[in-house]
Amino acid sequence: MEHSSYSVVVQNVDRCFGKHQILYNINLKVTCSQIFGLLGPSGSGKTTLVKMIAGIDVPTKGQVYVLGEEMPKLSMMNKIGYMAQSDALYGDITAEENLKFFAAMYNISKENCTKRIDEVMELVNLSEHLKKKVNQYSGGMKRRLSLAIAMLNQPLVLILDEPTVGIDPVLRKSIWNELDRLSKEGTTIIITTHVMDEADKCDNLCMIRNGRVIAAGTPDVLKKNTDSNTIEEAFLYYGGAK
């Protein structure tokens, strides 16, 4: 595959569940080391798309490439971090035990494991709750722990599905600061959101509505092309509310 400057390439992808089509001819390219936003309302197909990029789901038609490899591919698991919309956590064990379980799945060495757990838990402001059972966590704390797990293996591609839902504004800002830092250090970040001010923070955006790409480009270009002051206005323009 010749797309060496791209971390992720999606070509002509359809996704159907039985007779119900979710995605229609999706094409997108994500440049290495950028924050790429998928913006659209609930039910627009964002989650289905990122699951295929993560290798959890397969297209009905078309191809998905990550770091030059066609997905799904098991050997890519160690290079991808994925945070699902619903928290995949074990409630009856501690946060530390959850993190150690995922560290073992990622083949993180014992020497590096403790260090990485400390780093990611500090980042999501949960260090003091490391020994607490997850079923004692609030919803927002579970989201933060899921984010910590997604970053645990220092992935080359980090896929975050609505990561800041239920997280307070102060912590959301610190998480975005960390995402900026990670992208500057070489991590490609794909983030789904329906929060317009978050979409504005992305390097590039793909707007999705009813399973179709309706617009793509930098936030500034999308606003300029539609004579909009905000991403929300631009989205409404492309979405047909002209």
CB-based contact 76:66 (threshold 8 Å): yes
> Where do the domains of the chain lie, and which CATH numbers do they carry?
33-47+75-238 (3.40.50.300)
Give the per-residue pLDDT at 1: 44
Give the per-residue pLDDT at 30: 96
CB-based contact 152:102 (threshold 8 Å): yes
CB-based contact 234:226 (threshold 8 Å): yes
Q: Which of 112, 76, 106 is nearest to 188 (CA)?
A: 76
Give the list of residues 6+ apart from residue 93 with CB closer than 8 angstroms, or none: 101, 133, 134
Backbone angles phi, psi at 173, to 5 degrees: -65, -40
Looking from the CA of 154 toward its CB, the CA atoms found within 13 Å total: 12
Cis peptide before 72 (omega within 30 of 0): yes
Give the per-residue pLDDT at 169: 85
Q: Which residues of the chain have pLDDT under 50?
A: 1-2, 242
Task: Give the whole-angstrom CA distance, residue 234 versus residue 223.
Answer: 6
99-148, pLDDT tens digit by residue? 999 999 888 888 899 999 999 999 888 999 999 999 999 888 898 899 99
Full-model pTM: 0.90
Task: Give the whole-angstrom CA distance, residue 240 versus residue 242.
Answer: 6
Give the per-residue pLDDT at 241: 55
